[in-house]
Amino acid sequence: MSGSEGKKGSSSGVMEWIGSACRFATDRNDFRRNLLVNLGLFAAGVWVARNLSDFDLMSPQPVT
Amino acid sequence: MMELQEIGGPFSTTVTDVVVNFAGVQLPLDPYRQHSRKTFFLSLLQSQSMGSVLAAASSSPAPAAAGGSQGVPGLVSVPPGFTMPSVSSVPATSGSDQQTADAESPLPNPGTYEECHRKCKDVFPLQMDGVRLVVNKGLSNHFQVSHTVTLSTLSDSGYRFGSTYVGSKQTGPAESFPVLVGDMDNTGSLNAQIIHQLTTAVRSKIAIQTQQHKFVNWQCDLEYRGENFTSAVTLGNPDILVGSGIIVAHYLQSITPGLAMGGELVYHRRPGEEGAVTSLLGRYTGENYVATLTLGGAGAHATYYHKANDQLQIGVEFEASTRMQDTTTSFGYQLDLPKANLLFKGTVDSNWVVGATIEKKLLPLPLTLALGAFLNHRKNKFQCGFGVTIG
């Protein structure tokens, strides 16, 4: 009896944590959330700049 | 030599982005001028017959207007900085001294504090609004004038007359002093700057801005360039009678040939109020990239500039303001195709704003056509502009 109640307690705790995480991720007015999102965007932008920008626009087109 | 297309663009004929924040003065924003990320001194190299004297070219960060999204709120942005040829390392001697010379090669001068984020900011397009016609005319080796007619829906339409004088004291292949730049609009508002090289290492600047007959900004800069450091002091809007003013001190030191670190101290005083803001800056320069980070009490500002090749440059910018409780990330790129006489800039940011500008030289005519548009998807707003530069 106490074991099943403990499992229910832990699962409800996990659900609460998941719920709070979802609310944090979707709250556009939260400064910390926006800070994390924009830091991730900045890192993604740096990755794109370093890895996906090596193309030459003036190179001759391949003959098909 | 600075390319005319860089400095003769439709939004670059006027100068003076001055201290505004702590003085509490909200300047009327001219989107072309106040939001300009560059402040240019016009090249006087018009033709062979006019000689080859070049004005000292410099550019400034966008003014940190209150509530604006440019710059870090709370930090004063000083007007256009200075550019000087970087101090080159002492050439290594041959023979047994080679290794010793390499080990003891002096660190390069890191440049100025304001220029650390500039490379990235220059990649981003400027917002355009309405119609702008600019006519540049060089009258001599030392003197150039410009006429600007602006038709705008967001700001006041009008006419602006600008002039640039470059002196005879040549300190480098691309710099001469003194430099006097001024412009006045049809309402009598004046922007003026005087830049002079006092000694080989000391440069001074005085900037004044008026709204019709009233002085709204006046400031004085003094910059000292050492062998591997740069220090500058700016005095903004000093008023002895009232007891108010702003003092900004910058220091930037080369730690390694690629790493430079520095700091900024801003002290402001008004009757009944005074305060200070400090920030630290670190900049790392790689082979084809520059990463810069500024941390202070007002927030954080990080930029990454990457030069993919001669045609493509990319900039990524992150800004966080603790005062405004806001963060923004922007991605911008610049495509430069000199063979096509084309310059294209695009940007997208985390506020769902997408924008682009295109500049095209209409050779053989001395014309440059500029088109620009910005869309704010979140606020459902659209802004476009068109400009022609002659000369």
Q: Does B151 lie at the interface with A, CB-CB under 8 angstroms?
A: no
| Cβ-nearest to A45 among B311, B326, B331 | B331
B175-185 and B312-321 as β-strands: parallel, antiparallel, unpaired?
unpaired
Chain B residues touching A28 at Cβ < 8 A? none
Chain B residues touching A45 at Cβ < 8 A? 304, 316, 329, 331
CB-based contacts of A54, cutoff 8 Å, min separation 6:
B308, B309
Greater pLDDT, A10 or B372: B372
- Say whether pLDDT at B332 is over 50: yes
Lowest-confidence segment of A21-35, B58-72, B217-231 by average pLDDT: B58-72
What percent of chain B stands above pLDDT 90? 69
pLDDT of res. B21? 38
Q: Do B320 and A49 touch (CB under 8 A)?
A: no
pLDDT of res. B39? 36
- Say whether pLDDT at B77 is over 70: no
CB-based contacts of A64, cutoff 8 Å, min separation 6:
none
Structure letter (DSSP) for residue A31: H
Q: Which of B66, B76, B26, B67 is nearest to B268 (CA)?
A: B76
Residue A39 three-state SS:
helix
Q: Does A35 lie at the interface with B, CB-CB under 8 angstroms?
A: yes
| Cβ-nearest to A53 among B314, B327, B329 | B314
- Say whether pLDDT at B308 is over 50: yes
The residue in chain B having the minimum alpha-carbon distance to the alpha carbon of residue A33 is B327
pLDDT of res. B114? 92
C-alpha distances (whole Å) from B170 to each of B42, B166, B175, B200 are: 16, 10, 6, 11
Q: Which of B358, B390, B360 is nearest to B372 (CA)?
A: B358
Q: Does B350 lie at the interface with A, CB-CB under 8 angstroms?
A: yes
pLDDT of res. A58? 66
Read off the pTM. 0.74
Neighbouring CB atoms inside 10 A of B96's CB total 8
pLDDT of res. B111? 93
Query: Rounded to whole angstroms, how far apart are CA atoms B337 and B324?
Result: 39
Q: Do B219 and B235 contact (CB within 8 A), yes or no?
A: yes
Mean pLDDT of B311-334: 95
The residue in chain B having the minimum alpha-carbon distance to the alpha carbon of residue A54 is B308
Q: Which string of DSSP letters, residue by residue, matches B288-340?
A: SEEEEEEEETTEEEEEEEEE-SSSEEEEEEEEEETTTTEEEEEEEEEEEEGGG
Q: Which string of DSSP letters, residue by residue, matches B350-374?
A: TTSEEEEEEEEE-TTSSEEEEEEEE
pLDDT of res. B34? 38
Q: Does B348 lie at the interface with A, CB-CB under 8 angstroms?
A: no
Query: Rounded to whole angstroms, how far apart are CA atoms B7 and B134?
Result: 12
What percent of chain B stands above pLDDT 70? 73
pLDDT digits (tens, 9 = 90+) for B105-161: 688 999 999 999 999 999 999 999 999 999 999 999 999 999 999 999 888 899 999
Q: Cα–chain-centroid distance for residue A37? A: 7
Mean pLDDT of B183-205: 95
Q: Do B311 and A57 touch (CB under 8 A)?
A: yes
Greater pLDDT, B376 or B35: B376
Mean pLDDT of B159-178: 91
Query: Rounded to whole angstroms, how far apart are CA atoms B114 and A22?
Result: 40
Q: Do B305 and B289 contact (CB within 8 A), yes or no?
A: yes
pLDDT of res. A25? 76
pLDDT of res. B134? 97
Q: Find the farthest-apart pair of alpha carbons in chain B and give their distance in angstroms, rounded.
A: 69
What is the residue-averaged pLDDT of chain B?
Answer: 80
| Cβ-nearest to A45 among B289, B312, B329 | B329
Chain A residues touching B350 at Cβ < 8 A? 37-38, 41
